[in-house]
A and B are shown apart, each in its own frame.
Chain A
């Protein structure tokens, strides 16, 4: 089925190798400045490096070996954060490279006149401008985004979607858009180019993938502010420790003041480096995960907004129900057996190639074992559906079997001087009330009964909606059906609400109304008439199979054209936020253990009583401080997979979710560093480094 264009392995050696190199390249001040928390670590590392050189010169405040060890691990902290970001970017870059491979130099057949058969001149695809008309024949690449104005062809879009099955593109309707870089497999198309060079869908996707790291999302900005504030708090707390320590030494007459190396170590341990170091990786990875789900978001903001969606608008057809209605029951009038009705219905549908028609044949076969009869041997002539009669059927051996909408058959019967039975009218209404479409079958002037054509609700969709409800998202079904039908299907599918007889204006109004109430609305759409609603919605997912207008209006494009994808999009958006929140909590909770490691180590020479606080029983002051710094650096590496994959989202309701995450990342964050720091201390002692 879907061939994923990029390896999904977290540890693709190629990416890791490149990321390791990038981690060093990112050591420039300009790069570091973008991340305020890590910039503090960066400055601290430079400071301790200078102190180390000073110590080498024999005037060190601490033994040079200790300063060196701290310095190395501080640099590692910076590098690990760079590495995390580089890994996330590497995965996106691989995606961009793949997309770019589709953007090869394509030569185009530019038509002199916008019609098939006109003369054309061969030009380079990159010179095409909006409004140019080109001919694309079998085997040609589509030179740019455009609208089919003539012709039908099968197109291989795997370069964009990774989907190997070709799709049909034709003029008019909802399947008229083609994307640059795809290839026409059969027949020909005349296409009007709709994008100037550098503005095509592919261009936008590539720039999106590449610039994903640069645009911060609103919540990311807010979180960064909070992290900067916390960093400042810890900066005050540590910087003022120097005068506090000087005074304490002076007043107690014992010990040495705290050294700058230890202060820097304490500062780096306390500031939220875990989340600070992984923050941008989380954002980049979020967009990357969308891409693995074959969704291209036009901005990180859109991905994040997806996590906040309150209301989800879904088209009935194709999303909630299978695209086509299927015959589900045969209801004969009194005096006619179901078998006779089935027989007539099947005969009337033998030549009907529509999915509905085929489903009638299949139903009759399933119920009564009628085999498909050879049409020609029956000597039958078929009456095809026409807009005037709104019936189809068959004439054979003096029988005239017709099937069609109730009012069409009614006038057909009444024209023959017969009477349309009341019983049948009730049956027709019953079927409609169930949300199905009634087809009436008549043999000559005699009505035989009703075929119930049912909208088949997709399997498992009800569970998906229940899941959404648990996430706190209200689902609204949009349909052109009448209220009665819509209500029945809405009940069967388990949506919360529906909009029947929907017009584009009604859709727009519904979205605006929810937005005025303060809700965030998501919707999926593919048709041109969806474009206004898509543009209004906060999260708008356009199907890749949809029209250019729909794609322009949306802020995400689903390459698989799978409308239920929205659920996954919402999950990804939520995961992104949750990962940030959880790692922030974890980061802050870690500080408790670090205080227990460093405070006694830093001040026990002045106040030996403080050794009581060394609850971890760390070997020496030097090993205690070093263990805390090493733990602080290693935890970044340890959490890279979590940052890239995102923490698991389960729709269990806000309260329970918070409780779970507080337990894991809050309480866990309190406990883990006690164990980790002690383990590192034991290791340092065992290796005789402390």
Chain B
């Protein structure tokens, strides 16, 4: 790794950790309804919202009621986004007169944004009207993130409370997450991004004249806008020459801010944060990257504050950070070392004053190798999924790390709320095994981990691999699945595996290399996103309910400490073992073999 690269990564990680504590404290106070500025100044807004919607904020919910409220709310959001897409041609704020979106794509996108996955089978600037983007997608960016945070807060209450049936009020948790945390942070970030040059306008797309004509290869489209394929199922390309360029515009900054902060990741434009209007400068890149992990990291501290032992929060944050840093240390050098096949041709791939060196394919020159690789690791560690480079063009190992991070279940920071509740579930499993090994019924934060918790945790850990592996297997058995693969061989396998990993863990980033906006993938990936979001949230809420009903065991000398380096290692070990044992065979047939072939093993 170059020393400059090292400095940039260090700056990023240190800034992230420095911000975790203040923001963590702020969020804890919001959730505990302690005065902390905004929640007093804007309390009237909150009150009006409750009165308007008939919510009684003091009414406590059992876990089942909480889950139903969450599901109903999410379903309504899903239907709204579906309807907005289907009727956008007759709705206002559609300066480009874009047609209604197809049913399968609308379903996929509606599910994708409700589940905080933000997988994008469509191309933003060519598909969605400004109204759909703002009222549909941006709103979902807020509330899907807030739903995840609400479920986390409910789980934390499960640990705090004792001998109670209730775990809080979903509407209140959701409203406060949005009103006092997501909205203010998004507002600040959006303004800074606008300052950096991110567009924010209702104007239609602008057409500009190019100084010289450009010719390029483009996939040939038929009358319906579908890619024409040849007899072998490969897309047919044609040479196009043009003198002008259409610059897509729109209210981007407001959506990008929450897309990053809410671990959503759905870009305003198709190429996401690689687009100069979405991510124009190194500073905007740094801030957007920081926003990916900011809330998930800070929530660890919130967790520590709320349970009354900040060491527990630090321990989890430490486990996440260690894995994160270790995997950066794999990906960045892998990308910086480039491709040995090119070296064999006499290409100089070393970093120098005039060139970044390494594997620059699919990367933006203004970001370079380090910031592209760092973004890739951050966005897949969190369930964000926004990209500023093409993961499909990474080296096999460089691309495997993001894929594996997703497959770990999105618990290395993970999604806002969902990452930490996933990690807490892993902690329950780790504690269970550790507890047995020291000869005590396992307990975590004073709560005994018994059959019910293990059962629910098992569901949480089982569902994503099932979605990923079964989805990939079905796709590879069907012609409809295989037809979309651009690259043959092990890389093609990786492309499908990555797509299902991304959907099955609610990440939403695309490896690329498959045309996913076809009915088969829209349906399969949509189902994977649905199941892995709600089949995880419901058992997590069940755990919360069960824990809240238990009494709290006082800490004694026989209690296993869960804030020690030993426990951090155990937690990391549990996450990595489950992730590795589940996906090693699949990864062996994809990136591993690709890497071995690249370095010359035949």
Contact = CB atoms under 8 A, between A and B. Distances in A.
B585 A471 contact: no
Contact of B585 (A223, A575, A599, A607): A599
Interface in A251-281: 251-252, 266, 270
Contacts of B465: 233, 236-237
Contacts of A243: 472-474, 476-477
A607 B592 CA distance: 10
Contacts, number: 220
Given A471-B558, A608-B602, A222 B449 contact: yes
Contacts of B553: 310, 518-519
Interface stretch (B17-25, B94-102, B343-351, B450-458): B450-458
A657 B438 contact: yes
A541 to B, nearest CB: 18
Interface string A465-476: 000011111100
B451 A218 contact: yes
A581 B588 CA distance: 30
A240 B586 contact: yes
B451 A240 contact: no
A234 B581 contact: yes
Interface stretch (B334-342, B370-378, B429-437): B429-437
Interface string B445-479: 01001110111001101100110011011101100
B585 A244 contact: yes
A658 interface: yes
B286 interface: no
Given A226-B429, A578-B437, A218 B462 contact: no
A223 B593 CA distance: 36
A685 B213 CA distance: 69
Contacts of B593: 603, 607, 609-610
Interface string A222-237: 1101101100111011
Interface stretch (A113-121, A354-362, A647-655): A647-655
Given A223-B436, A575-B439, A238 B462 contact: no
A469 B493 contact: no
Central interface residue in B492, B553, B581, B602, by most chain A CB within 10 Å: B581
Interface string A644-683: 0000010001110111011001100000000000000000
Contact of B589 (A248, A471, A582): A248
A574 interface: yes
A218 B589 contact: no
A247 B496 CA distance: 11
A240 B439 contact: no
Interface in B208-254: none
Interface stretch (A319-327, A404-412, A561-569, A584-592): A584-592
B191 interface: no
A517 interface: yes
A573 interface: yes
Contacts of B592: 610, 613
B450 A654 contact: no
Contacts of B560: 654-655, 658
A584 B453 CA distance: 18
Contact of A218 (B437, B450, B564): B450
Contacts of B602: 608-609
B582 A516 contact: no
Contacts of B597: 607, 609
Nearest to A516: B551
B429 to A, nearest CB: 7
Interface string B579-600: 0111111101100110011000
A240 B557 contact: no
B584 A595 contact: yes
Interface stretch (B181-189, B275-283, B309-317, B482-490): B482-490
Interface in B525-582: 551-554, 556-561, 564, 566, 570, 573, 577-578, 580-582
**Interface range on chain A (Cβ under 8 Å from partner):** 35 or more
Given A226-B429, A518-B446, A237 B437 contact: no
Contacts of B470: 236, 240
A689 interface: no
B203 interface: no
A233 B585 CA distance: 12
Contacts of A610: 588, 592-593, 596
Contact of A585 (B433, B474, B578, B588): B433
A228 B439 contact: no
Contact of B566 (A246, A591, A658): A658
Contacts of A585: 433, 437
A513 to B, nearest CB: 12
A123 interface: no
Contacts of A233: 461-462, 465, 578, 581-582
A299 to B, nearest CB: 15
A219 interface: yes
B584 A518 contact: no
Nearest to A570: B439
Given A588-B581, A658-B434, A649 B476 contact: no
A226 B432 contact: yes
A107 interface: no
A612 interface: yes
Contacts of B51: none
B473 A581 contact: no
B366 interface: no
A237 B559 contact: no
Nearest to A517: B554
B601 A612 contact: yes
Given A234-B581, A244-B493, A662-B570, A218 B586 contact: no
A243 B437 CA distance: 38
Contact of A237 (B435, B450, B474, B582): B582
A151 to B, nearest CB: 46
Contacts of B455: 222, 225
Contact of A222 (B450, B466, B556, B573): B450
B515 interface: no
Contact of B552 (A221, A518, A662): A518
B47 interface: no
B175 interface: no
Contacts of B578: 233
B49 to A, nearest CB: 39
A93 interface: no
B56 interface: no
Interface in A204-232: 218-219, 221-223, 225-226, 228-229, 232
A347 to B, nearest CB: 52
Interface in A503-545: 516-519
Nearest to B485: A251
A283 to B, nearest CB: 13
B18 to A, nearest CB: 30
B517 interface: no
Contacts of A576: 439
Interface in A166-185: none
B441 interface: yes
B585 A654 contact: no
Given A517-B554, A609-B602, A654-B560, A241 B585 contact: yes
Given A228-B458, A589-B577, 10 more contacts: A222-B453, A232-B466, A270-B581, A307-B440, A472-B556, A518-B551, A581-B436, A653-B557, A654-B557, A662-B566
Interface of A: 218-219, 221-223, 225-226, 228-229, 232-234, 236-248, 251-252, 266, 270, 304, 307-308, 310, 469-474, 516-519, 573-578, 580-582, 584-585, 588-589, 591-592, 595, 599, 603, 607-613, 649, 653-655, 657-659, 661-662, 665-666
20 contacts: A219-B441, A222-B432, A225-B458, A232-B462, A233-B465, A237-B586, A244-B473, A244-B585, A251-B490, A474-B556, A577-B436, A595-B581, A603-B593, A608-B601, A610-B592, A611-B601, A657-B438, A657-B439, A658-B434, A658-B437
- List 5 A-B pairs, minimum CB-CB distance, nearest first: A472-B558, A581-B436, A574-B439, A229-B458, A581-B437
